[in-house]
Amino acid sequence: MLKTNLTADLIRDVCRYVEDHSDEALTLAELAKRASMSRFHFARTFKSVVGLTPKQYLATVRLRKLKDGLGRSKRVDTAALDAGYGSASGIYQRAVSHLGMTPRQYRRGGDGVVISYATLATPLGLMGIGATDRGVCFVGFGESRDELVARLHREYARARIEPMREPYHPQFRLWTSAIVRHLAGDAPCPQLPLDIRATAFQMRVWKYLQTIPPGTVESYSEVASAIGHPNAARAVARACATNPTAVLIPCHRVIRESGELSGYRWGIGRKRAMIERERAANA
Give me the active site residues, please.
Answer: 251
131: three-class secondary structure by DSSP: strand
Q: With CA atoms as reference, report the closest residue to 235 among 247, 223, 253, 217.
A: 223
How many angstroms separate the CA atoms of 283 and 277, rounded? 10
Q: With CA atoms as reference, report the closest residue to 237 among 250, 256, 213, 258.
A: 256
Q: Residue-wise over 53-75: b if at least 16 C-beta within 10 A, else e? A: bbebbbbbbbbebbbebbeeebe
The dihedral region occupied by 178, where left means phi > 0, alpha psi between -120 and 50, and beta the remainder, is: alpha
Q: What is the CA radius of gyration of the chain?
A: 21
How long, in residues, is the chain?
283
